[in-house]
């Protein structure tokens, strides 16, 4: 497939000449108020069980509204706290919820914005992925997407200064995700965040059963058994698992719950899980 370039009017030009992707779901998935947002994120992280495993290279975190999944996301990012001092780049990869497209989408924005400030996009990432025909710039896919945005305030709370690599996965193969991750893997300076919820819109007991099976699949590294019935971000997860195995990283479950455990009714829930790979 040829590399395609899309332009989106959602990017805002800055006085310095850059183009900023503004927050799309502030006030919906999380508060617009920066002081309250900083407190919320810090409280979610502090409420997590202490992480006593090896340094986490990658995490899986949910991306629902914070009232539903913030506690589970906090568990994922609590595992990053010890490594945060050396992290200077965060690769965040999640599924496309709004715009259908083939491949994996980069952004042409120079920064992404949340109420906590702007995070600069790593300009070297596009160059590192330029030879891959399934990776292309697609700002229209990024414009409304919440899967990456909701992870940013957690990273902003933990990492003082970092470059952001935003990747949205459309109609792609797990092997393509693995190849992208291999090119961006880096060393201790790079953290990988896989953004995904689990099962969608089952009753509470069914969701618990399905999500427990998905958790087992993830922990066994059985990437080829994951599908859309397991997680909206099954492709990013399935791409991470073989690359993690190749590098001898083990998945450690940090939390598993659903919206019925937080703010939702139990007749129709969404599942959430958190894992660290170390």
Interval 84-104: pLDDT, tens? 999 999 999 999 999 999 999
Please give the pLDDT value at position 8: 42
Q: To 10 degrees, the CA torsion angle through 181, 187, 188, 190?
A: -30
- Which residues constitute the domain of residue 84? 5-261
Asked whether residue 269 is domain-assigned, the answer is: no
Please give the pLDDT value at position 13: 77
Please give the pLDDT value at position 17: 57
Please give the pLDDT value at position 14: 65
Q: 53-88 burial string, b = 16+ CB within 10 Å, else e?
A: eeebbbbbbbbbbbebbbbbbbbbbbbbbebeeebb
Per the listing, tokens 């509470």 go with 204
Please give the pLDDT value at position 4: 36
Asked whether residue 44 is domain-assigned, the answer is: yes
Q: How many other CB atoms sit within 10 Å of the CB of residue 248?
A: 6
Total number of domains in the chain: 1
Asked whether residue 268 is domain-assigned, the answer is: no
CA–CA dist 133, 179 (Å, integer): 11
Question: Which regions in the chain score pLDDT beneath 70?
Answer: 1-9, 14-17
Is the sign of the CA dihedral 128, 132, 137, 141 positive or negative?
negative
Asked whether residue 48 is domain-assigned, the answer is: yes
Cβ pair 79, 53 in contact under 8 A: yes
Q: Among 193, 258, 152, 251, which residue's Cα sits nearest to residue 61?
A: 193
Please give the pLDDT value at position 2: 29
Please give the pLDDT value at position 56: 98
Q: To 10 degrees, the CA torsion angle through 120, 124, 126, 129?
A: -140
Asked whether residue 278 is domain-assigned, the answer is: no
CA–CA dist 51, 80 (Å, integer): 9
Q: 136-168 burial string, b = 16+ CB within 10 Å, else e?
A: bbbbbbbbebbbbbbbbbbbbbbbeebbbbbbb
Asked whether residue 273 is domain-assigned, the answer is: no
Per the listing, tokens 């829930």 go with 269
Asked whether residue 266 is domain-assigned, the answer is: no
- Which CATH number do you get for residue 252? 3.40.830.10
Asked whether residue 270 is domain-assigned, the answer is: no
């Amino acid at each position: 497939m040829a590399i395609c370039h899309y332009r989106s009017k959602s990017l805002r030009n800055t006085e310095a000449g850059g183009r900023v992707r503004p927050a799309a779901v502030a006030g919906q998935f999380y508060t617009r108020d920066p002081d309250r947002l900083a407190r919320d994120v810090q409280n979610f992280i502090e409420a997590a069980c202490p992480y006593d495993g090896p340094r986490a290279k990658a995490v899986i975190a949910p991306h629902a509204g914070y009232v539903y999944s913030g506690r589970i996301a906090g568990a994922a990012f609590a595992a990053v706290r010890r490594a945060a001092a050396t992290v200077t780049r965060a690769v965040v990869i999640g599924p496309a919820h709004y715009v259908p497209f083939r491949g994996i989408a980069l952004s042409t924005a120079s920064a992404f914005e949340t109420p906590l400030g702007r995070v600069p996009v790593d300009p070297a990432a596009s160059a590192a992925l330029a030879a891959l025909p399934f990776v292309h710039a697609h700002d229209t896919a990024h414009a409304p997407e919440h899967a990456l945005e909701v992870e940013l305030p957690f990273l902003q709370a933990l990492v003082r200064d970092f470059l952001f690599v935003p990747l949205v996965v459309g109609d792609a193969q797990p092997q393509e995700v693995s190849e992208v991750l291999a090119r961006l893997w880096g060393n201790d300076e790079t953290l990988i965040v896989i953004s995904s919820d689990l099962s969608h819109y089952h009753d509470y007991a069914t969701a618990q059963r399905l999500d427990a099976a998905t958790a087992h699949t993830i922990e066994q590294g059985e990437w080829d058994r994951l599908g859309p019935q397991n997680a909206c971000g099954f492709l990013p997860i399935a791409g991470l698992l073989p690359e993690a195995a190749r590098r001898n990283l083990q998945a450690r479950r940090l939390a598993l719950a659903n919206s019925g455990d937080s703010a939702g009714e139990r007749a129709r829930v969404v599942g959430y899980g958190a894992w660290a790979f170390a």
